[in-house]
Structure 1
Amino acid sequence: MPALVSKSLRDYRRSLIRWTIGIGAFFTLYLSFYPNISENQEIYGPQALAKFPGAMRDLMGGMEDFTSGIGYLSSVVYQLFGPMLFIACAMILGNRAIAQPEESGTLELTVTLPVDRRRLVFERFVALVLGLLAVTVATFLLAWALSAVADMGVAFGRILAAHTGVFLLALLCGTLSLAVGAATGHKGLAMAVVGVVAVGGYIVETMGKNVDWISWLRWVSPFHYYLDGEPLYQGFPVGNYLVLAGATVVLLLTAILAFDRRDVGV
């Protein structure tokens, strides 16, 4: 493993452990509620959820049925809260690649070393991928085990498909954070951009299904390529996931070119 990648992963170690514990606690908490919810059809069944305002149901992915295992996972865990936690993790890791060390003054020392700038950005990206992948694998295994214990009846492959989508969505946002940081050197701006893209993209994707004047924006929302394929119901939406992966590559190339041409004060 390249030295810069291994050093970055060592620097990220405590953060990755905390994020794994935090996201794991989220999965444990919410999946522990399922047995009680599944027994209360009159409160959480389709007829009860249909009484909620349409806008609220749209924001929560339709809220069709909390009492089925797949409906609960889709609406409560993999619709909004789970992806946003992963996006926050990836955004912070992306910021730590370039923007944070530049603002703290440590990046100037790094770029004086005999390391090509393009290689520096790429290896920091590799560390981002590996770190986020470690969190994803650990939480996937936990989610699968908890769903099996709760007898949710959701196939291993469907949970894997959903978790893969969350990983790709978060990786795109983390790479966006890296790219903005590489282009500007400001971690606050990078966080703001990712926040707007993530929150705005989610609102556009969920509300755009029933609001005509913003429906066209769904095609530029990263959430569209995660949610539209319904991985828990349909399995791997290969085309959509390739779009997320392709957009990530474009952002990585943008980050490399922007940082290679920018003065960082040395």
Structure 2
Amino acid sequence: MLKNIFLKSIHDYRWATLWWSIGVSLTSALIVAIYPDYSKAGNELNELFNNPAMKAFVGEIVDITTPEGFLTMEGYNLFFPVLIIIFSVMLGTAFVSGEEKEGTLEMLTATPVSRASIIAQKCSALFILTIFLGFIFFISITIGAIIINMDVSIVNITNISIHLALLGLVFGCLSLFIGSITGVKSYSIGVPASIALISYLLNAFSSSITLFDTLKYLSPFYYYIDKNPLIHGLNPWHTITLISIVTILALVSLFTFKNRNLT
């Protein structure tokens, strides 16, 4: 067994991360590969996505024949966020409530390592693995775009990949926090999943439902995709907001785990 908790956490999920990376790479390559067919479809697709119901999901990008519109609709709007959120929540659940259920967390707390150090190292492992998967999204889309001569800014692919990783970390840290409070694995999965769904719907339908337009500022998805970083670059305030949410959740996870009775 590795003595360093951070390295052990990464070591334990090295194969899962590898298979996720392969899956993400293949999926991203497939999406990019079908773009030439979409770009030839012209007005037929644009008319479809100009439908008010569809625009709720597409947002400001309605021309799916452009590289940015295509990548947003087929990947960054929903599909890629779902993948990275599932991955990060899986890790956040496994690192605390999963280990508590298996009895290994109690063994860790019996060692000379402080509880604060335990949760800090596990949180660091969550950060590294989620950011790594975000990098896999970036490199897969970038290489695919270069191969098919897709006219899209590499800088802006970087920008939206940063937001994608941060979005995953928001819900991964939320899972870690729920596990630190309750120690119940089903809560660590169910609560972040429910909040992610509600957050997505709040932002997706904010243009058509007045109440949602007011509440969209509570949604991490708003800060992730509003003003589309794939086109306009990073909005510093949105990036700072996502980083702040991740930081707060990590800190409260540390505090609650440090003070909770595990017996």
User: With structure 1 as the length reference, what TM-score do the two structures score?
Assistant: 0.94
- Equivalent residue letter for 1:260: K
Separation of aligned partners in 2, 1:8 and 1:17: 14
Q: Which runs of 4+ in 1 moved over 6 A?
A: none
1:192, distance to aligned residue in structure 2 (A):
1.0
Deviations 1:181-207 (A, max 9, x none): 011001211111111111110110010
Residue 49 (structure 1) aligned with residue 53 (structure 2): no
Alignment of 1:107-186 (within 5 A): 107-186=105-184
Q: Secondary structure at the match of 2:18?
A: helix
Distance 1:108 1:48, change over 3 A: closer
Separation of aligned partners in 2, 1:202 and 1:61: 12
Separation of aligned partners in 2, 1:115 and 1:16: 26
Deviations 1:126-168 (A, max 9, x none): 0011111222222211110101222221111010001110001
Q: Secondary structure at the match of 1:31?
A: helix
Q: Secondary structure at the match of 1:152?
A: coil
Distance 1:48 1:208, change over 3 A: closer
Separation of aligned partners in 1, 2:248 and 2:125: 18
1:63, distance to aligned residue in structure 2 (A):
5.5
CA contact (8 A) 1:176 1:194 kept: yes
- Aligned partner of 1:12 in structure 2 is 13
Deviations 1:211-247 (A, max 9, x none): 1122221111010101113101111111101101001
- Equivalent residue letter for 2:78: L
CA contact (8 A) 2:175 2:189 kept: yes
Unaligned runs of 5+ in 2: none
CA contact (8 A) 2:88 2:172 kept: yes
- Equivalent residue letter for 1:33: I
Give the superposed CA RMSD: 1.6
Unaligned runs of 5+ in 1: none
Alignment of 1:1-266 (within 5 A): 3-44=4-45, 46-50=46-50, 52=51, 54-61=52-59, 64-265=62-263
The answer to which of 61-70 and 203-212 deviates more is 61-70
CA contact (8 A) 2:116 2:254 kept: yes
Deviations 1:64-101 (A, max 9, x none): 11111111011211111011100110000111111100
Separation of aligned partners in 1, 2:75 and 2:59: 11
CA contact (8 A) 1:9 1:131 kept: yes
Deviations 1:31-74 (A, max 9, x none): 11111111111432x23432x3x123212335611111111011
- Equivalent residue letter for 1:199: L
CA contact (8 A) 2:133 2:165 kept: no
User: With structure 2 as the length reference, what TM-score do the two structures score?
Assistant: 0.95
- Equivalent residue letter for 1:5: F
- Equivalent residue letter for 1:8: S
CA contact (8 A) 2:120 2:254 kept: yes
CA contact (8 A) 1:68 1:152 kept: no
The answer to which of 210-219 and 85-94 deviates more is 210-219
- Equivalent residue letter for 2:65: T
Separation of aligned partners in 2, 1:6 and 1:194: 25
Separation of aligned partners in 2, 1:63 and 1:49: 9
CA contact (8 A) 1:158 1:235 kept: yes
Separation of aligned partners in 1, 2:220 and 2:112: 37
- Equivalent residue letter for 1:243: T
